[in-house]
Amino acid sequence: MQKITIAIDGFSSTGKSTVAKQIAKQLGYIYVDTGAMYRAVTYFAMQNKYIDKSHFDIEALVTSLHNIRISFKFNENLGFAEVYLNGINIEKEVRTLEVSSFVSQVATVPEVRYQLVKQQQKMGKDKGVVMDGRDIGTVVFPEAELKIFMTASAETRATRRFKELSERGDNVSYDEVLHNVKERDYIDSHRADSPLVKASDAIEIDNSNLSLQEQFDKILQLVNTAL
């Protein structure tokens, strides 16, 4: 059967990855979480003290980009691929609020984007891919057959993310999470290189009041019309 490229973009914590994983599983497609790649670079920058609350040494990060190898490995028990940095599983480490608080700054750096976009294009070159992020339908795969743009109110998204982090045992407040969601929305939409914008041919889905099943059914229906 003909395979297509499915690009799912949108604001932080819209639940893109949850539905994207399910769609990929249903279709037997590869799923790529591009946010995890920007998070991995951020984690690397934090570990090497290139970024913290008071400074960001962009030059040092750019100079050492060649030392960063990001990969994904499918975890049978979890049912999805986890992210690895230079062969080490960092799936849990990249999901903290601390990484979230720096990732949008790291994602403004054109050299970082260039490297990651190249790798993403390679991963999806044979189609049969569901990729989620901020610039998939606009920059990574502007020719994607199906483009979805997910939205939901900042409060809805912060509530979901707060629940997720609390369940994992992270000691964060709802206000901190809401602040982070709004801050990332702002930086992601206002950066000069590949800002978060809805592609003109993307279909917008506001999932504030949609269950996961309803989102899944809606996207699957769109896939069937795109095939």
| Count of chain residues binding ligand C5P (CB under 6 A) | 13
Shortest Å distance, C-beta 2 to ligand C5P: 25
Shortest Å distance, C-beta 107 to ligand C5P: 3
Is 16 marked as a binding-site residue? Answer: yes
CA angle 176, 178, 183 (to 5 degrees): 95
**Residue 144 identity:** A
Select the residue interacting with ligand C5P from 51, 102, 134, 207 (CB under 6 A): 134
Whole-angstrom Cα Rg for the chain: 17
Q: Which helix (H) or strand (E) holds 169?
A: none
Concatenate the DSSP letters of all residues of 62-87 into one string. Answer: HHTGGG--EEEEEETTTTEEEEEETT
Is 12 marked as a binding-site residue? Answer: yes
The runs of H, that is alpha helices, within 67-203 are 97-106, 110-123, 154-167, 174-190
Is 11 marked as a binding-site residue? Answer: yes
Select the residue interacting with ligand C5P from 6, 21, 35, 152 (CB under 6 A): 35
Phi-psi region of 21 (alpha: psi -120 to 50; beta: other; left: phi over 0): alpha
Backbone angles phi, psi at 56, to 5 degrees: -145, 110
Q: Does 38 bind ligand C5P (CB under 6 A)?
A: yes
Shortest Å distance, C-beta 117 to ligand C5P: 8
Q: Does 104 bind ligand C5P (CB under 6 A)?
A: yes
Q: How far apart are CA 39 and CA 203, in angstroms?
A: 26
Site pattern 40..79 for ligand C5P (x: CB under 6 A): ----------------------------------------
Closer to ligand C5P by Cβ: residue 107 or 223: 107
Binding site feature residues for ATP: 10-18
Task: Return residues touching ligand C5P (CB under 6 A).
Answer: 12, 34-35, 38-39, 103-104, 107, 133-135, 184, 188
